[in-house]
Amino acid sequence: MGGISTNKAAQNLEHYLEKEHKGELGFRELNRFFNAATMNPNMFTVVIFHKEIPEIEFYCHVNPKELLENDTLSYYGKENLKIADLYERERKRYETRQNVKADFVNEIPKIKFENDRFEIFVPGEIETAALHDVIERFVARLNSVYEELDIPYTMSLYIKTEAHPEGFIDIPLENIENQWHPQMFMLSATMNNFVTIEKDIKQRIQTNLDASYPNYEIDDNYRKIILDKSSLSKIAWVQYLKDKTIDNDKNEKWQNPLTGLYITYYDIQTGHLYFGEMVSQENDNISYDETLALIKLKVEAEGIQM
């Protein structure tokens, strides 16, 4: 392959950071990045971070062989970016996150900005109206600095509480014209007692399948657990079911085996399992939006607010 050695690349990068950033920045995960597109054996990927504030970090492509003579990052084309530019961008994002945290320090003592979610800890006993108010104001604050946060990923709002310190509610955030909008409340699989709840519901589903729909089996990879926004205790466990009679190894044309859609209604506070029902055996023939509309129709008819 040729190119500068990894040891020499690390030496050059360390020398450059010491010279240009006075030793303020460090690096890790230095790996050669050679592919058909770049055809450059001297290109590396690396994570650069602030030594005293490790939250400030960024991933980039560098050419350590040329870095000491020419520190323009060629990988980024005509932008003419340098490590300093990427660092300044990330530093501003960090300051924006810190400002958001400061605005809610008395209501939300713990806020984490993860790659795929905003994680918050809400202390005390959870009251529905107060929780909705905090969610509305927090998301509005995030939207006010949408550009500054510069997050390209699909995000959710993940809520932890004293009763459920590992996670209670996961709220997908739909991005509409660069603004986040909270969607349905989803029960987190990390909540306390989830394993017991899951076992009870799946046993009931399996019993009903054995009796009335023996061609179906539970697919553990596909489910939605919708939490009632009003009570914060009732859930609709939406389980996708696999049709065991569909054998795609023998079919000339692949067929989606997830034809069944089964909903079970349960109260996580009382442990009461109300009932379950098969709501569709043709889920493979309808679109995602049509499936969502069907779920909404069924669960809201049972008093669960989506």
Contacts (Cβ under 8 Å, ≥6 apart) of 282? 259
Over its length of 306 residues, how does the chain's per-residue pLDDT go in tens digits? 568 999 999 999 999 999 999 989 999 999 998 776 667 889 999 999 999 999 999 999 999 999 999 999 888 877 889 999 999 999 999 999 999 999 999 999 999 999 899 999 999 999 999 999 999 999 999 999 999 999 988 999 999 999 999 999 999 999 999 999 999 999 999 999 999 999 999 999 999 999 999 999 999 999 999 999 999 999 999 999 999 999 888 888 898 999 999 999 999 999 999 999 999 999 889 999 999 999 999 999 999 999
pLDDT of 36 reads: 65
Q: pLDDT value at position 152?
A: 82
Whole-structure pTM over 0.95, yes or no? Answer: no
pLDDT of residue 251: 83
Residues 96/145, Cβ–Cβ less than 8 Å: yes
Tally the residues of the chain: 306
pLDDT for the residue numbered 1: 56
pLDDT of residue 206: 97
Q: What is the pLDDT of residue 202?
A: 97
Q: What pLDDT, on a 0 to 100 scale, did the predictor assign at position 38?
A: 65
